[in-house]
Amino acid sequence: MSQFDTNKWFKKQYLTEAGLNESKADSVAKAMDDAIDTIDPELSVRDFAQAVGKILKGEAGTEGYGSFNFPEFMKVLHAELGMEESLNEAESTDIERLDFAFIDGTTKLYAVYVYKKGGRGIQWDKKLSRKEAQELLNANDIDIEINPYNIDKIDDALKDIKVTQSEFDVS
């Protein structure tokens, strides 16, 4: 007897619960694939991702799906791809606190420490680079530059997530 693949089962279960009709999904996928072959059979990953983003946002001559559907879209996409959800797509309710650590006496960001609800307690759960932190803010529609003077603005914008600021001594 072969080993039971729980990932495959959970994926199928989630897609079923989400009400996705596989035959519809297959038809849409075929139509998209045919359209890509017609326009550029060697379409880059970047162009494909940007095209999907434009469709979702309604910038491709369509009505769009509405930003309120983006988290659900990402969950289904990740389930389909067999991926774990990355931090920048995580629901903000998963994060309890963000600590923006700047290099002592400067405005240079060292890292952003993520503390998740039910996580490791006083130990941070994930350390983000400047780029990853900016992606997290952008994913939450927050267009604020990360610097020590904007921490209060970031705190206000994130609402349910506590934002703190600390200094990191690199000496």
Specify the pTM. 0.47
Residue spans per domain, the chain: 6-85, 88-168
The DSSP line for 15-66 is: HHHTT--HHHHHHHHHHHHHHHHHH-TT--HHHHHHHHHHHHHT-SSS----
| pLDDT per position as a tens digit, 136-157 | 888 778 889 999 999 999 999 8
CA proximity to 101, closest of 139, 144, 125, 133: 133
Classify residue 41 by burial, with Cβ atoms within 10 Å: 0-12, 13-18, 19+.
exposed
| pLDDT per position as a tens digit, 29-70 | 888 888 889 999 898 888 888 888 888 887 777 677 777 777
Q: Dmax over Cα atoms in the chain, in whole Å?
A: 63
